[in-house]
Amino acid sequence: MASILYLTDLYYPAKGRTYYEEDIFIAGRLMDHFDVALCHPKNSEAFEDSADVIVFRNTGSVIGYKEIYRAFRERIQKNSLRTFNTFTGKADMLGKDYLLELTKLGFPVIPTVDCKSDISLLPASDRYVIKPKDGADSIGLEFLSDEELSQRHIADHVYLIQPAVEFEYEVSFYFIDDKFEYAMYAPNKTKRWEMVPYHASEEDIRFAERFISWNSISHGIQRVDACRTIEGELLLIELEDLNPYLSLLQTEKDTQEKFIVDLVSTLNNCLKEQTPEL
């Protein structure tokens, strides 16, 4: 059997989510097909060379282990380690800069700039959101009135600045490689991690697929987070291509089964291929 080194943080204190339950479920199911060992990224180096593939899962925000993450990425390249996701992504795994690029390219994203002097490029708004580029888990995210924004010193290229979007709900689309698996949404705006299954229309799926096609993950799990504005359109909030939490245990049984079948299948394909050049 091929071997998997499954990276996770079973103790990660995520708001409203139980990372370890999801990973125990997924890792448990993978054990029917692979030899699987669970490990935290801080302890992985000693085992990396002996694993056929390293699966990067609910390891929490890398802000908590920046240096470990940097060194891990360096070893992937140096030792040609096979990973899932492949570390070829252009989105969250490199920080939040991609939102600037997608804004410039005219993708349906929350309009984003990274300097106060560019604020005129955003649609006029009386409320704004600022968030640190290397942030996650809403760390450092603040809502400001236009008055507060004009008075606040914000270092150029360190924060993203966006209009505060009024939305009906947040919805997430989950993909394995380029295949749409399922969608979930948060009907209660104040409890955004209380996700329930969402019936995505063809148009919704096409919206999400644009971001998956733009990105360059050859094998991996990605989550497209969007909001439905009060005007009814979808706008991207975040393309999570590093370690998206999947709310998998909140999906229906057949969705879970299909997800596991597709995951096993893509891992088998990944094992047959050359590791990508980084």
Q: Which residues of the shown chain bind Mg ion in the complex (CB under 5 A)?
A: 238
Nearest distance in Å: CB 123, ligand ATP: 11
**From its phi and psi, is residue 18 left (phi > 0), alpha (psi between -120 and 50) or beta?**
beta
Residue 154 interacts, among Mg ion, ligand ATP, none and using kind-specific CB cut-offs from 5 to 8 Å, with none
Residue 141 interacts, among ligand ATP, Mg ion, none and using kind-specific CB cut-offs from 5 to 8 Å, with ligand ATP
Cis peptide before 85 (omega within 30 of 0): yes
Residue 172's SS3 state is strand
Name beta bridge partners: 84. 55
- Which H, E and C letters describe 82-124, residue by residue? CEECCCCCCCCECECCHHHHHHHCCCCECCCECCHHHHHHCCC
Nearest distance in Å: CB 216, Mg ion: 21
* Binding stretches for ligand ATP (CB under 6 A): 110, 129, 131, 135-138, 141, 162, 164-165, 170, 192, 225, 237-238
Residue 114 interacts, among ligand ATP, Mg ion, none and using kind-specific CB cut-offs from 5 to 8 Å, with none
Whichever of 11 and 202 has its CB closer to ligand ATP, that residue is: 11
Angle of helix 19-30 versus helix 253-272 axis, rounded to 10: 60
Nearest distance in Å: CB 136, ligand ATP: 5
How far apart CA 273 and CA 99 sit, in angstroms, is 31
Whichever of 82 and 96 has its CB closer to ligand ATP, that residue is: 96
Nearest distance in Å: CB 53, Mg ion: 27
Nearest distance in Å: CB 197, ligand ATP: 18
* CB closest to Mg ion, residue no: 238
Contact 56, 84 (CB under 8 A): yes
Which residue type occupies 193? W
Residue 136 interacts, among ligand ATP, Mg ion, none and using kind-specific CB cut-offs from 5 to 8 Å, with ligand ATP
Whichever of 37 and 122 has its CB closer to ligand ATP, that residue is: 122
Whichever of 238 and 241 has its CB closer to Mg ion, that residue is: 238
Element (H, E) at 129: strand 127-132
Residue 81 interacts, among Mg ion, ligand ATP, none and using kind-specific CB cut-offs from 5 to 8 Å, with none
Distance (Å) of CA 262 to CA 30, 52, 150, 257: 11, 19, 49, 9
For tokens 């994203």, name the residue: 109
Whichever of 167 and 175 has its CB closer to ligand ATP, that residue is: 167
Which residue type occupies 194? E
Whichever of 204 and 238 has its CB closer to Mg ion, that residue is: 238
Whichever of 81 and 161 has its CB closer to ligand ATP, that residue is: 161
CA atoms within 13 A on the CB side of 114: 17
Residue 161 interacts, among ligand ATP, Mg ion, none and using kind-specific CB cut-offs from 5 to 8 Å, with none
Nearest distance in Å: CB 259, ligand ATP: 21
Q: Please state the φ and ψ torsions of residue 184, each to the nearest 5 degrees.
A: -135, 150
CA-angle at 142, arms to 136 and 148, nearest 5°: 155
